[in-house]
């Protein structure tokens, strides 16, 4: 057994003992840890901005709105709502249990593992952590090794703020995570790509550990003929090129009819110029690709179809210009895998039916977008497609509303979080009934010797009756 393995099992043992001693259960403890997390965020703001700059050249505007501010809102919501979230939820009873107390108790799972990716390394590590703390769990976080600077802050500074008997950080990549996963956890929350998601789920299955998988995929964006082309181009460009395209819910490709394609392409070209200037490489508002490996992967996609806008690269800076591709084939690499970079292919379809057919032939995406000023088209698209989240006439906005769940469906993941959904994700919903130890006469009907009259009486007291008329007649 390696020394790392020993460290992991020692850490797990320490956390498990704290959990079993009930240390994380009281609301006061959870609140104190959430406040400590807020303090960490406040006191290390500058470091965090610097790390995000180093890892992804993330503009501070983007870092603020998509990482730090989102985490702060989640902490504040959890602090404000914790007492109501933690309350037992009473439920309706049937006649047979009318005198009993019946409720759902949210109880923590135990020791939770949170594995995060590199594209929003602060947000995607800390928002799940907030939910796990609020729900009363002990937690190990495993930030991504790819966003190295942020990994360092999260693993070295954060643990100083939190109770070290209950919370820990583990660093490393595939090798370390694989060894970590050999241990038994009570819940695993993973954000990353679907291939790794399968590895995580397989490891979890060995211990029957429940999982949330926040995965990725290709998010379609259908632009209908009836729309404000200029607004569409601005909204698609911002959400596609934000964080240099390395966003799991970014529109991955555009489908539109030949009628508006020319106009849309012109508007995209004008918008890219308006947002990032003559030479986007000089723009302070454009991020960079996170690593050489990802740079090579994304740059290879520039060979697909024809470049209409952009296409320039600089390997030394891991720079890829905001790019619009046309004439791509469905079999091209750019349409076969998640792009996760600043490239936007625009494909032609005959109309909404072909667009929906195109989308439904593929795996269910994390997000689906439709642009149209005709609300019938919007609702038709919503009704006939499926995705983790949905937004009409914009991109990414579904993730800014804290009361909406965030998560995938099918190949884009399972489970959800954000706000109260995070608390629920990290809580086992325990079904509880508290009966009197007296009133035994009432139970006589259920004991042998059985009789039809007792059976009929029990059924009349317990069966749920259907309301309304039968739809088949």
Give catalytic residue positions: 214, 248
184's tokens: 């038994």
Name residues contacting ligand NAD, limited to 393-452 (CB under 6 A): 408, 413
Asked if residues 302 and 265 have their Cβ atoms less than 8 Å apart, the reply is: no
Would you list the DSSP string of 362-428?
A: SPPPSEEEEE-S-HHHHHHHHHH---SEEEESSSSGGGS-TTS-B---GGGEE--BSHHHHHHHTEE
Distance of CA 243 to the CA centre of its chain: 17
Residues pairing with 217 in the sheet: none
Binding to ligand NAD (CB under 6 A) within 318-357 occurs at: 338, 340
CB of 133 to ligand NAD, least distance (A): 19
Stretch near ligand NAD under the rule CB under 6 A, chosen from 51-59, 84-92, 93-101, 169-177: 169-177
Residue 228 binds ligand NAD (CB under 6 A):
no
φ/ψ of 424, rounded to 5, equals -65, -40
Q: For residue 409, give both structure tokens.
A: 């469906």
Strand, helix or coil at 190? strand
Binding pattern for the stretch 171-210 against ligand NAD, x by CB under 6 A and - elsewhere: --xx--xx------------xxx--x--x-----------
* Contact flag: residue 150 with ligand NAD (CB under 6 A): no
For residue 227, state whether it binds ligand NAD (rule: CB under 6 A).
Answer: no
Q: Which residues in 70-89 contact ligand NAD (CB under 6 A)?
A: none
Kindly give the pairing relationship between strand 367-371 and strand 220-223.
Answer: parallel
> Could you say which of 64, 107, 145, 163 contacts ligand NAD (CB under 6 A)?
145
Q: Residue 246 CB, nearest distance to ligand NAD (Å)?
A: 8
CB 154 within 8 A of CB 142: no
Number of residues that bind ligand NAD (CB under 6 A): 28
Among 48, 52, 102, 115, interactor with ligand NAD by CB under 6 A: 115
Q: Shortest CA distance to 211 belongs to which of 3, 374, 417?
A: 417
d(CA 194, CA 9): 27
The residue at minimum Cβ distance from ligand NAD is 216
Q: Smallest distance, Å, CB 67 to ligand NAD?
A: 12
Residue number with CB closer to ligand NAD (142 or 261): 142
Q: Quote the tokens at residue 89.
A: 């939820």
The answer to whether residue 55 forms part of the interface with ligand NAD (CB under 6 A) is no
Using CB under 6 A as the binding rule, whether residue 124 contacts ligand NAD is answered as yes
Q: How far apart are CA 149 and CA 466, in angstroms?
A: 59
Q: State which of residues 24, 125, 144, 155 lies at the interface with ligand NAD (CB under 6 A).
A: 144
**Is the Cβ of residue 170 or residue 356 nearer to ligand NAD in the bound state?**
170
Using CB under 6 A, which of the segments 111-119, 153-161, 342-350, 436-444 binds ligand NAD?
111-119
Interface residue with ligand NAD, options 16, 142, 218, 318 (CB under 6 A)? 142
- The residue behind tokens 């009570």 is 186
Nearer to ligand NAD, 23 or 54 (CB): 54
**Which ranges in 44-92 belong to alpha helices (H)?**
45-56, 60-63, 69-86
CB closer to ligand NAD, 251 vs 408 = 408
Treating both helix axes as pointing N-terminal to C-terminal, what angle do 69-86 and 123-134 enclose, rounded to 10 degrees?
A: 10
Residue 195 or 469 having the CB closest to ligand NAD: 195
Q: Which residues of 304-313 are buried (b: 16+ CB within 10 A; e: fewer)?
A: bbebbbbbeb
**What whole-number distance in Å separates Cα of residue 275 and Cα of residue 310?**
13
State in angstroms the smallest separation of the CB of 1 from ligand NAD. 19
Least Cβ distance, residue 139 to ligand NAD (angstroms): 15
Give 227-249 as a DSSP string. S-HHHHHHHHHHHHHGGGG--TT
Beta bridge partners of 221: 254, 369
The least CB distance from residue 219 to ligand NAD, in Å, is 9
Stretch that binds ligand NAD, among 24-32, 112-120, 235-243, 256-264 (CB under 6 A): 112-120
CB closer to ligand NAD out of 133 and 366: 366
116 near 404, Cβ under 8 Å?
no
Based on CB atoms, which residue is closest to ligand NAD, 257 or 398?
398
User: Which tokens sit at 118?
Assistant: 């590199």
Q: Which residues bind ligand NAD (CB under 6 A)?
A: 115-119, 124, 142, 144-146, 173-174, 177-178, 191-193, 196, 199, 214-216, 248, 338, 340, 366, 408, 413
């Amino acid at each position: 057994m390696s020394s790392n393995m020993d460290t992991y099992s020692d850490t797990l043992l320490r956390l498990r003992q704290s959990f079993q001693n009930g240390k994380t259960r009281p609301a006061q403890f959870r609140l104190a840890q959430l406040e400590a997390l807020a303090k960490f965020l406040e006191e290390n703001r500058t470091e965090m901005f610097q790390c995000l700059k180093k890892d992804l050249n993330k503009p501070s505007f983007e870092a603020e709105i998509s990482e730090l501010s989102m985490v702060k809102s989640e902490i504040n919501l959890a602090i404000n709502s914790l007492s109501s979230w933690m309350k037992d939820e009473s439920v309706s009873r049937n006649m047979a249990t009318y005198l009993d107390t019946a409720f759902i108790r949210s109880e923590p799972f135990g020791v939770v593992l949170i594995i995060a990716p590199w594209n929003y390394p602060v947000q995607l590590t800390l928002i799940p952590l907030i939910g796990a703390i609020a729900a009363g769990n002990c937690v190990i976080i495993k930030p991504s090794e790819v966003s190295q600077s942020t990994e360092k802050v999260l693993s070295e500074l954060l643990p100083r703020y939190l109770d070290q008997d209950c919370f820990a950080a583990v660093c490393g990549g595939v090798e370390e995570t694989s060894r970590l996963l050999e241990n038994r956890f009570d819940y695993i929350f993973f954000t990353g790509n679907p291939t790794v998601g399968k590895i995580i789920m397989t490891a979890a299955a060995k211990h029957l550990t429940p999982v949330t998988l926040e995965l990725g995929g290709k998010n379609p964006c259908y632009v209908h003929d009836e729309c404000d082309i200029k607004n569409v181009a601005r909204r698609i460009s911002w959400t596609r090129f934000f964080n240099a395209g390395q966003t799991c819910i970014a529109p991955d490709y555009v489908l539109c009819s030949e009628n508006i394609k020319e106009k849309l392409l012109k508007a995209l070209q004008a918008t890219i110029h308006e947002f990032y200037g003559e030479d986007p490489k000089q723009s302070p508002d454009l991020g960079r690709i996170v690593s050489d490996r990802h740079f090579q992967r994304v740059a290879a996609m520039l060979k697909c179809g024809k470049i209409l806008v952009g296409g320039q690269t600089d390997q030394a800076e891991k720079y890829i210009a905001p790019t619009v591709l046309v004439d791509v084939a469905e079999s091209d690499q750019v349409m076969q895998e998640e792009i996760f970079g600043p490239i936007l292919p625009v494909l032609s379809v005959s109309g909404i039916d072909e667009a929906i057919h195109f989308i439904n032939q593929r795996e269910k995406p994390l997000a689906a977008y439709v642009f149209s000023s005709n609300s019938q088209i919007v609702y038709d698209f919503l009704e006939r497609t499926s995705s983790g989240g949905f937004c009409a006439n914009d991109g990414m906005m579904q993730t800014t509303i804290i009361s909406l769940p965030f998560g995938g469906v099918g190949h884009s993941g399972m489970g959800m979080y954000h706000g109260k959904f995070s608390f629920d994700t990290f809580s086992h919903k325990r079904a509880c009934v508290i009966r009197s130890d007296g009133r035994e006469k009432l139970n006589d009907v259920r004991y042998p010797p059985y009789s039809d009259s007792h059976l009929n009486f029990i059924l009349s007291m317990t069966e749920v009756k259907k309301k309304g008329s039968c739809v088949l007649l």
